[in-house]
Amino acid sequence: MPTVAFYGDAAEWSTSALLHSEPLIERTRLHAFRIRPHRHSSLAQLFWLAGGAGVGRFDGEPFELVAPCVAVVPELCVHEFEWGQDCDGFALSIASALVHDLRRQLGGQAALFAEPAVFDAGDDREYLHGLFARIDDEYAKSRPLKEALLESLVRAVAIWLARQSRPTGTAESASRSAVHFERFSALVEARHREGWAVADYAKALGISPAHLNAICRERSGSSALELIHDRVLLSARRELAYTDKSIADVAAGLGFSEPSYFTRFFKRRMGMTPKQYRRRSGTSAG
C-alpha cells in the first residue's frame, strides 16, 4: 500500500501553516474522480462535501458520502474515493504536529482523529461551509497573522467534530501500545523544551528506546525522534512568529546549547533560516 507524504510533493505545503487546503474538485478531476488506495504517514485529512456525493473506503470499510458531510481520515488510514462529477467542497490536510496539538486540546475527545468517521452537517451546513471556505481563502493568500487565524479556524472545525462524536472509551479499553503512545505524547508536550533524548522518554515510560520507536511507528508512522522534533518545531514556529524573543533566546528556551545548532535544525526542517521564517510570517514580531 503506498505511503505518501502530501501527494508526493512536500513543496505544496504552505511555509506559514501546518496545513494544506484546496477545492475538492481540483484533485478529483485530475484523477478522473477516482482516488486510488493510499495512506499518509505524517498528516490527517478532513473532507468537506458541500454538494454531490461519493463513496469512500477507509481501512477497507465502505462509507457513503452524501452532502453535506465531513469525512475524517486519520494518519496512516488507508483510504480511497469514488467521487461524483458534481462533487463540491474542500480537502483539508493537517500536519501531524498540529493534529497532536488539537488532540491534546480536545482532551477527552482526543480519539476523534484516531478513527475514520463521517459526520452529517445537518443544520450546521452554512456554518461549516463558511469555516472551510475561509480556511481555503486564507491559505491561498499572504496576510499578516495568517498562521494564527488558520489554526483558530481549524480548531473551530475540530471542536464541531468533537461535539458530534460519541464519548471515547477509557484507558482500560485501549491497547497497551496506545496507552504508551498517549503517555509519550503527554511527556513530549511537557518535556520537549528540556532537550530530552529518546532514551530519556523511554526510561520515563519504563520501556526500551527500541520498543518506544516501534510503538511510535505503529501509531503514527513516525519515529519517536521525529515526533519530538515535530513538537520542538511547532514551538519554534510559534515563538518566531508571535513573540519578539531573539533567535538565541528561542533556541535556548527549546534546549539548544548553541543558536547555530537551532538554525541548522530549523533550516533542515523548514527550508529556511529562523530569521527568514520570521520575516515571512508577516507578524508584528517579524
Residue 218: give its domain's CATH number.
1.10.10.60
Positive/negative CA dihedral, 53, 54, 55, 59: negative
The H or E element containing residue 43 is: strand 43-51
Q: In the chain, pLDDT over 70 holds for what percent of residues?
A: 86
Q: Considering the domain boundaries, does residue 11 fall inside one?
A: yes
Domains of the chain: total: 2
Q: What is the mean pLDDT of the chain?
A: 84
157 shares its domain with 179: no
* Residue 4 banded pLDDT, cuts 50, 70, 90: low
DSSP assignment letter at 17: -
286 pLDDT more than 70: no
Segment among 130-144, 172-186, 214-228 with least mean pLDDT: 172-186
57 shares its domain with 41: yes
164 pLDDT more than 80: yes
11 pLDDT more than 50: no
In this structure, how many other beta carbons lie within 10 angstroms of the beta carbon of residue 66? 13
159 shares its domain with 175: no
167 pLDDT more than 50: no
Segments forming the whole domain that contains residue 70: 3-164
Q: What is the mean pLDDT of residues 222-242?
A: 89
Residue 94, classed as helix, strand or coil, is strand
109 pLDDT more than 60: no
- Boundary (domain end) residue, out of 144, 164, 184: 164
32 shares its domain with 61: yes
176 shares its domain with 269: yes
The more confident residue out of 276 and 220 is 276
Q: Give the per-residue pLDDT at 234.
A: 87
Q: What pTM did the predictor assign?
A: 0.63
Q: Give the per-residue pLDDT at 37.
A: 86
Q: Considering the domain boundaries, does residue 183 fall inside one?
A: yes
Q: Give the per-residue pLDDT at 280.
A: 80
Q: Considering the domain boundaries, does residue 286 fall inside one?
A: no
The H or E element containing residue 118 is: strand 117-120
Q: Give the per-residue pLDDT at 284.
A: 45
169 pLDDT more than 60: no
Q: What is the mean pLDDT of residues 171-188?
A: 75
- Boundary (domain end) residue, out of 139, 164, 189: 164
In this predicted model, what pLDDT tens digit does every residue of 25-77 receive, in sequence order? 988 888 888 998 888 877 899 999 999 999 998 877 888 999 999 999 988 78
Q: Give the per-residue pLDDT at 129.
A: 97
Q: In the chain, pLDDT over 90 holds for what percent of residues?
A: 46
201 shares its domain with 153: no
219 near 185, Cβ under 8 Å? no
Q: Give the per-residue pLDDT at 222.
A: 85
- Boundary (domain end) residue, out of 129, 164, 199: 164
Q: Considering the domain boundaries, does residue 249 fall inside one?
A: yes
Spatial CB neighbours of 90, under 8 Å, sequence gap ≥ 6: 21, 22, 23, 24, 47, 48, 50, 132, 133, 135, 136
243 pLDDT more than 60: yes
16 shares its domain with 158: yes
